[in-house]
């Protein structure tokens, strides 16, 4: 159950097996069926989730019922509303399973205790949060400056297996383009 988590962490930092085994005691395993919410807007995000199997999306919804996808989280990805998780405030996000998913959940108290007991995890979390901030900044810059085709090609680089697993309208929402635009881009790329 923890093999993917171990591989993910050990690809980022060196961690002794005994430290990793100690870390696993802080997690709660949870299955979430397709279309079930891990978090709904207005709730407090009590856990961060490591996606062991499946794929989730975080999104917000406007007053007209339109969804705006902020992130996809396939296997090996962490997902939470960090503002809600860290500040214990109501979430502005929804997090939904797009496939039957298996998650490893880490509560805020457990996370804090793990950081204290296993100091090497501080480095791991610093690196993943740092990488997340960098990728968010790049995504914002690219969304303002790239064509629809460039955005889609970048999506394919970042999420190579998601194209077959995520509905096209959600990919269009993530890219900030109309469904029709995404269809046109895909057709043009297929014709080349």
Q: Over the chain, what HEC string results?
A: CCHHHHHHHHCCCCCCHHHHHHHHCCCEEEEECCCCEEECCCCECCEEEEEEECCEEEEEECCCCCEEEEEEECCCCEECCHHHHHHCCECCCEEEECCCEEEEEEEHHHHHHHHHHCCHHHHHHHHHHHHHHHHHHHHHHHHHHCCHHHHHHHHHHHCCCCCCCCCHHHHHHHHCCCHHHHHHHHHHHHHC
57-105 pLDDT, tens digit per residue, is 999 999 998 999 999 999 999 999 999 999 999 999 999 999 999 999 9
Report, as an integer, the average pLDDT of 20-48: 98
Which is more confidently placed, 35 or 159? 35
Name the CATH topology of 3-117: Jelly Rolls (2.60.120)
Examine the pLDDT at 125 and tell me if it is beyond 90: yes
Report, as an integer, the average pLDDT of 17-28: 97
What is residue 9's predicted lDDT score, i.e. its pLDDT?
A: 97
What is residue 74's predicted lDDT score, i.e. its pLDDT?
A: 96
Report, as an integer, the average pLDDT of 182-187: 94
Share of the chain above pLDDT 70, in %: 100
The residues spanned by each domain of the chain are 3-117
What is residue 161's predicted lDDT score, i.e. its pLDDT?
A: 85
What is residue 192's predicted lDDT score, i.e. its pLDDT?
A: 83
Report, as an integer, the average pLDDT of 178-190: 93
Examine the pLDDT at 147 and tell me if it is beyond 90: yes
What is residue 127's predicted lDDT score, i.e. its pLDDT?
A: 96
Kindly report which listed range (31-40, 41-50, 88-97, 181-190) carries the lowest average pLDDT score: 181-190
Work out the number of other CB atoms within 10 angstroms of the CB of residue 134. 10
């Amino acid at each position: 159950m923890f093999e993917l988590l171990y591989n993910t962490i050990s690809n980022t930092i060196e961690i002794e097996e005994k430290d990793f085994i100690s870390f696993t005691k802080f997690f709660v395993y949870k299955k979430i069926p397709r279309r079930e919410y891990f978090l709904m807007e207005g709730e407090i995000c009590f856990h961060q989730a490591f996606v062991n199997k499946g794929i989730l999306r975080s999104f917000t919804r406007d007053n007209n019922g339109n969804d705006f996808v902020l992130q996809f989280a396939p296997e090996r990805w962490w997902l939470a509303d960090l503002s809600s998780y860290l500040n214990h405030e109501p979430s502005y996000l929804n997090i939904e399973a797009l496939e039957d998913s298996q998650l490893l959940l880490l509560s805020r108290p457990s996370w804090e205790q793990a950081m204290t007991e296993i100091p090497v995890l501080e480095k791991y979390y610093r690196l993943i949060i740092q990488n997340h901030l960098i990728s968010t900044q790049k995504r914002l810059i690219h969304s303002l400056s790239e064509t629809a085709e460039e955005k889609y090609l970048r999506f394919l680089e970042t999420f190579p297996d998601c194209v077959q697993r995520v509905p096209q309208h959600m990919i269009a929402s993530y890219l900030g383009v109309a469904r029709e635009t995404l269809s046109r881009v895909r057709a043009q790329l297929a014709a080349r």
